[in-house]
Amino acid sequence: GIDCSGDSRMCCRKEFFVDFKEIGWEDWIIQPEGYHMNYCTGLCPLHMAGIPGLAASFHTAVLNLIKANNADAAVDSCCVPTQRRPLSLLYYDRDSNIIKTDIPDMIVEACGCT
């Protein structure tokens, strides 16, 4: 997958870090210090459809051209997460018990076109 940088308009992963201290949650969330709430954004032109991330090889480029020429056969394509990982939290609950849990699929690692 590709990380968004500069004025890239193609499908990419936008990093966004939520610092728990900044939002006043550091008193009840012991670990970690924040949450990487990355998200996918950018365009998925039809000839990019179905390829995780951006074209990175000659073969893929040719495949894209074939797809582009048959554009009318293709349907819409969206920029979505292709890899995600859990968010591990150590936090206090209402009774001041300490809970450790891994929330699955909370952090986007990579994006690609459907």
Partner 1 sequence: APKGAWCPACGLAALAPTTQRDALIALAKQSILTKLRLQDRPNITHPTSRGALLTALHRMRAQRVDVAVSPGMPHDGSIPHLRPGMGLQEYEILSFAESGSSTSRSVRLHFHFTRELTGSTEILQATLYLFWAVPGPRTRPVTVRLLQPDAMGLNMTVASKTWLKVQRPGWATLDVGQAVQSLFGQGSQRLTVELEVPEDWGSPVLAGRSDSHWPFVAAQARARTPHRVQRR
Task: Name the residues that contact partner 1, by CB under 8 A.
Answer: 16, 18, 23, 25, 27-28, 30, 35, 37, 39-41, 78-79, 87, 89, 91-104, 106
Helix (H, G, I), strand (E, B) or coil at 55: coil
CB of 23 to partner 1, least distance (A): 6
Residue 92 has φ and ψ, to the nearest 5°, of: -90, 140
Identity of the residue, 102 or 109, whose beta carbon is nearer to partner 1 in the bound complex: 102
CB of 51 to partner 1, least distance (A): 18
CB of 14 to partner 1, least distance (A): 9
Q: Where are the alpha helices (DSSP H) in 1-110?
A: 58-69
Identity of the residue, 7 or 66, whose beta carbon is nearer to partner 1 in the bound complex: 7
Identity of the residue, 65 or 85, whose beta carbon is nearer to partner 1 in the bound complex: 85
CB of 38 to partner 1, least distance (A): 10
Identity of the residue, 69 or 101, whose beta carbon is nearer to partner 1 in the bound complex: 101
b/e string for 31-41 if b means 16 or more Cβ within 10 A?
A: eeeebeebebe
**Strand boundaries in 1-114, DSSP class E:** 12-14, 17-19, 29-31, 34-36, 39-41, 79-92, 98-113
How far apart CA 12 and CA 80 sit, in angstroms, is 9
